[in-house]
Amino acid sequence: MTTVHFGLYGLGTMGSALAQNIAEKGFHLHVSSLHAEDTDRFLSKSDGLNESFTPHRSLTGMTKTMPGPRVIILLVPAGDAVEDSIAEARPHMRPGDVIIDAGNANFHDTRRHALALEAMGLAYLGMGVSGGEEGARTGPAMMVGGTQSVWDGVRPLVEAIAAKYEGVPCVDRVGPDGAGHLVKTVHNGIEYADMQLIAETYGVMRDGLGMMPAAIGDVFGAWNKGPLQSYLVEITGAVLNTDDPTTGKPLVEMILDRAGQKGTGRWTAIEALQLGVSVSTIEAAVSARVWSAAKPVRQTGEAIFSPLRESVELGTDQLEQALLAARIISHSQGFDLLVAASRAYDWSLDLARCAEIWRAGCIIRSALLNDIAAAFRAGPPDDVLCFAPSMVTRLQEALPALRAVVGAATSAGHPVPALSAALSWFDGMTQGSGTADLIQGQRDFFGRHGFERFDGGAGHHGPWAD
């Protein structure tokens, strides 16, 4: 059997952790980074593993000197860094060699690279990796796109480094070329929604119930033992219970309320709009990050309107149920996008397998995902997760709380954009007779766009009065 030689380029947060994980699982790895001193620093931090690494001063040097067949794993930022890395490595690669982009790439770029490299006899895998630094070091979840034979060649290493859920590796080839990066992008869209839903719930407790960070942290800690059990709820409790060593205050009170974003949430919303899918909770989360960034403008608005932020009468049990309902709805929206992308790109995505991959290692891992996987194995009505019997039961229990929380928070002036978007999406998607009859009437009135009639046919026009 041919021995495949692996190289990893990009020894930043994720690349360093993944390289150490690979070495720990008994694989030899060639390593290099944009700056040679980063490779030196990486080696100095990799005590006990250094015999597993062959360091190189540059990507060119690594690709040229590595014996073939070569598999080069890139862990660099999306966009120009990936383009530059491929351009640098490609001239030194031979037919049969593989490049794996293990960063958060836009899946349209991955499709383009796969096509171009395959035309040259090279292979390209787009592999979304989730789990942050700790996940990369100890076992991330990974979503792979590419051809089956190329996946089969790298599978032993990738499965070895992956998180395991009851012994099953949280990685798979989910489809061709860009499929893995699209599934990772949707994972991140759901991650954005979940983080925003949690933040809104924290806001209601802080500003509507007057609770202190540590007390809120304890509530999240307790919720993590129930149906909301998840990595994000767990770390929320930990963040809220951490004090600032300098001031002694709760650390969260010293963190500026301006959230960053690198693009995957936005890509999810853009792709959904392109494919005609509503991911309104995810869109609300992206928008909330956008307005979080405009702090001076928010401060001007507050000075002009002096809005009242009143207390609310809500129990934490209602907030828990509201968060659960909204979490189910935001996952349902993410899976709707996977269904649409699978159809549009002819990927035959196995939705249950995607949910299974996310059960461990990744940022959105939660108790809910095992039930979501089971729901997709059974096949929910119209492929809509919210319509699966197990989700219907939970939603029927939890929706009254979501209505109470959105109603109370909105009346009292507390922004809950993702919670309310989830509720409105649910109400719209369960309203058999909606209000688009009027939209169609308006469209025909001003533009003769035509409408369908209940009693038959399309392309009708109204006898509109002037």
Ligand X SMILES: O=C(CO)[C@H](O)[C@H](O)COP(=O)(O)O
Ligand Y SMILES: NC(=O)C1=CN([C@@H]2O[C@H](COP(=O)(O)OP(=O)(O)OC[C@H]3O[C@@H](n4cnc5c(N)ncnc54)[C@H](OP(=O)(O)O)[C@@H]3O)[C@@H](O)[C@H]2O)C=CC1
Task: Name the residues annotated as catalytic.
Answer: 184, 191
CA distance 437 to 336: 24
Q: Which helix (H) or strand (E) holds 44?
A: helix 36-44
Query: Is residue 264 close enough to count as binding ligand X by CB under 6 A?
Result: yes
**Position 398 contacts ligand Y (CB under 6 A):** no
Strand order in the sheet with 123-130: 53-55, 29-32, 5-9, 70-74, 98-101, 123-130, 141-145, 171-175
Among positions 181-200, residues that touch ligand X (CB under 6 A) are 188, 191
Site membership for ligand X, residue 316 (CB under 6 A)? no
Whether 242 and 383 have beta carbons less than 8 Å apart is answered as no
Nearer to ligand Y, 130 or 230 (CB): 130
Nearer to ligand X, 131 or 213 (CB): 131
Nearer to ligand Y among residue 277 and residue 369 (C-beta)? 369
Crossing angle (nearest 10°) for helices 231-240 and 213-223: 160
Q: Is 170 in the site for ligand Y (CB under 6 A)?
A: no
| Position among 122, 363, 404, 416 found at the interface with ligand X (CB under 6 A) | 363
Site string for ligand Y, 118-147 (x = CB under 6 A): -----------xx-xx--------------
The entry of ligand Y, ligand X, none near residue 14 (CB within 5 to 8 angstroms by kind) is: ligand Y
User: 73 or 369: whose CB is closer to ligand Y?
Assistant: 73
The interface partner of residue 49, options being ligand X, ligand Y, none and the CB cut-off 5 to 8 Å by kind, is none
Residue 318 CA to residue 419 CA, distance in Å, equals: 13
Binding letters toward ligand Y, positions 94-123, x by CB under 6 A: ---------xx-------------------
Closest CB to ligand X among 158 and 406? Answer: 158
Residues 90-119 binding ligand X (CB under 6 A) are: 104
The reply on whether position 33 binds ligand Y by CB under 6 A is: yes
In the bound state with ligand Y, the residue whose beta carbon lies nearer, of 70 and 414, is: 70
77 is in the binding site of which of ligand X, ligand Y, none (Cβ under 5 to 8 A by kind)? ligand Y
**Pattern 133-172, binding to ligand X, x per CB under 6 A?**
----------------------------------------
Q: Are strands 168-169 and 164-165 parallel, antiparallel or unpaired?
A: antiparallel
Q: How far apart are CA 244 and CA 221, in angstroms?
A: 20
**Residue 361 is a binding residue for ligand Y (CB under 6 A):** no
Q: Which stretch binds ligand X (CB under 6 A): 23-31, 262-270, 335-343, 375-383?
A: 262-270
Helices (H), 263-315: 264-275, 280-293, 295-305
Helix segments in 204-230, DSSP class H: 213-223
State the minimum distance, in angstroms, from the CB of residue 272 to ligand Y.
Answer: 20
Q: Which of 314, 328, 319, 334 is nearest to 396 (CA)?
A: 328
DSSP tag of 398: H
Beta strand 123-130 with 141-145 is antiparallel
Q: Which of 16, 39, 106, 130 binds ligand X (CB under 6 A)?
A: 130
Which residue's beta carbon is nearest to the bound ligand Y? 12
Residue 103 binding target from ligand Y, ligand X, none, CB below 5 to 8 Å by type: ligand Y
Size of the site for ligand X (CB under 6 A): 10
The count of residues interacting with ligand Y (CB under 6 A) is 25
Neighbouring C-beta atoms of residue 146, cutoff 10 Å: 26
Work out how close the CB of 129 gets to ligand X at its nearest, in angstroms, rounded to a whole number: 8
12 binds, among ligand X, ligand Y, none (CB under 5 to 8 A by kind): ligand Y
Closest among 291, 305, 346, 360 to 139, alpha carbons compared:
360
Sign of CA dihedral 217, 227, 368, 421: negative
Which residue carries 């006898």 as its tokens?
Answer: 463
* Buried-exposed string 201-225: b where 16+ CB fall within 10 A, e elsewhere: bbbbbbbbbebebeebbbbbbebbe
Question: Measured between alpha carbons, how far is 406 from 208 in angstroms, rounded to an integer?
Answer: 12
Q: Decide if 139 contacts 320 (C-beta within 8 A).
A: no
Interaction between residue 132 and ligand X (CB under 6 A): yes
Q: Residue 191 binds which one of ligand X, ligand Y, none, with CB within 5 to 8 A depending on kind?
A: ligand X
**Residues that bind ligand Y in the complex, under the rule CB under 6 A:** 10-15, 33-35, 38, 75-78, 80-81, 84-85, 103-104, 129-130, 132-133, 262
